[in-house]
Amino acid sequence: MRHGRYPFIMGFLATPVLLYAYFVLWPYVQTINLSFYQWRGFTAKRWVGLENYDRMLHAERFWKALEHHAVILVFLPLLTIAIALVFAFLLNVGGKGSGGKTVGVWGSSFYRVVFFLPQVLAVPVIAVLFATVYRPNESGLINGVMLKLGLAEPVGFLIEKHLALPSLIAVLVWQMVGFYVVLFSAGMANIPAEIYEAAELDGADKLTLFFRVTLPLLWDTVQTAWVYLGILAFDAFAIVSVLAQDNGGPDGATTVLGLEIYNNIQMNRYGDAATYGVALCLLSLLFAGVTLRLTRRESYEY
């Protein structure tokens, strides 16, 4: 019976595996191969070996992009996960039901929909919204409020070098928090209510419930969220390309590797674009592997 089962399973797996190999793995192989050539798209390919990599490593914008990825990598996962955990905790454990039962705050179902709304908006829509929010005059939402209150002069959130990248990180956090609120809420919903009730009977307050009960039992989900957000930090192309000034400006203050790939394609330097793509892929894989290794811990069963 077992010998007949394996061919049956392989028969079902063969088609999706082949499709995955052709549409996902094969483009990676082609990109790695192209990174060793100089090619402008309309000329013959010319083998250059590691010349493209050498040029990339000596490019100032490459190191600027890496620096920006490092900043995003620190603040995007940290802020998104922290805010999402607090909101999810309030929506699931922040209130009291009848008979002292631990429940979410009043209106938690409505708040979940509100928090998730930014996740379903397309990047161009988000860009238009925040272009208005960040507008550097009284017609901008933030500057308009500050000027009405007499708090400050107009601030150029997207045109000042020291503010441009933090402003884009804030947009990414705003966009992503809702998804992770729902993700963490689903994880908390699987934690038996009896565990919270027992902890409260022992005198635990909400802060203790969060750090000593919820966070340890939700650690695997937090670990996964950190990896996903880290990979997003190595992307960030879409929001930078549509919201940043002057193609990664001002003065390269918001450029990322994805934008450098796009710029090289625009200049018909496909070998250089492939080289940046390989670097981006390797950095994402390295981050995911290191993060999973450093955050690995014993799983709790309940």
Distance between alpha carbon 55 and the CA centroid of its chain, in Å? Answer: 29
Beta carbons within 10 angstroms of residue 169's beta carbon = 22
Q: What is the pLDDT of residues 96-155, one digit of tens each?
A: 655 556 666 676 777 777 888 888 888 888 888 888 888 888 878 888 888 888 777 788
Structure-block tokens of residue 26:
């094969």
Alpha carbons 210 and 213: distance in angstroms, whole number: 6
In this model, does residue 275 exceed pLDDT 90?
Answer: yes
Q: What is the pLDDT of residues 281-297, one digit of tens each?
A: 899 888 888 887 777 66
In this model, does residue 245 exceed pLDDT 80?
Answer: no
If pLDDT is split at 50, 70 and 90, which confidence band does 1 have? very low
Alpha carbons 250 and 236: distance in angstroms, whole number: 17
Structure-block tokens of residue 82:
């922290």
Q: What is the pLDDT of residues 220-237, one digit of tens each?
A: 888 888 888 888 888 888
Q: What integer pLDDT is reported at residue 94 of this predicted model?
A: 63
Q: Would you kindly state where each structural domain of the chain is located, as residue ranges?
A: 50-294
Beta carbons within 10 angstroms of residue 296's beta carbon = 11
pTM of the prediction? 0.83
Instruction: Write the CATH number of the domain with boundaries 50-294.
Output: 1.10.3720.10
- Contacts of residues 261-267 at CB distance under 8 Å and 24 or more positions apart, as own/partner, are 261/237, 262/237
